[in-house]
Amino acid sequence: MVETTGGFTSVGLELEAKALQLSSLTQAEAIEIGTIAQEIGLDRNLPIAIEVRMKDWIVFHASLPGSTPENDWWIGRKARVVNLTGRSTMHERVIAEEQEIDWHAEKGLEEDLYAIHGGGLALNVVGLGLTGVLIISGLPQVDDHLLGVEIITEYLARKGEQQ
């Protein structure tokens, strides 16, 4: 078995994505997800940038103390991967590691524009699929991914939709 980033498996990440599906995603709901991320980040003093998009439309952005302009570059690269594939950036990374392929070469995409580093999570709506993207940048990639999972889980819990 191939060693993967964070010890994740593509099967496990697929199950995780299903558990994180939303019943809807309006602009107000996307902002609420961003606000939850900002609250958690500020409470923990995390040096992160947070973005929530509905496809390419940026509906929430916060650069918390300690984050840098470089985080915005990472956010754009991660968002492109999620919008292209409909899967989290960590999921794409782990698939490439399991298949032992160069993801960028396989897809014919530039690494400067697409980053398969954890922290980009698909906001999938049941019955609709990809509707938005939550992106976290500023922590090690596994931590970026896990924080994104925590944020969506908290959002679902607040909505009474935790699965």
> Per residue in 36-47, pLDDT tens?
999 999 999 999
Interatomic CA distance for residues 128 and 33, integer angstroms: 18
Q: What pLDDT, on the 0 to 100 scale, is given for residue 163?
A: 54
Sign of CA pseudo-dihedral 117, 17, 67, 143: negative
Averaged confidence pLDDT in the chain: 96
Q: What pLDDT, on the 0 to 100 scale, is given for residue 117?
A: 96
Neighbours of 88 (CB within 10 A): 29
Q: If pLDDT is split at 50, 70 and 90, which confidence band does 2 have?
A: confident
pLDDT tens digits, one per residue of 77-120: 999 999 999 999 999 999 999 999 999 999 999 999 999 999 99
- CATH class of the domain at 22-138: alpha beta
Which residues, in sequence order, are CB contacts of 80 under 8 Å at separation 6+? 113, 114, 115
Domain boundaries, the chain: 22-138
Which residues, in sequence order, are CB contacts of 127 under 8 Å at separation 6+? none
Which residues, in sequence order, are CB contacts of 26 under 8 Å at separation 6+? none
pLDDT tens digits, one per residue of 97-107: 999 999 999 99
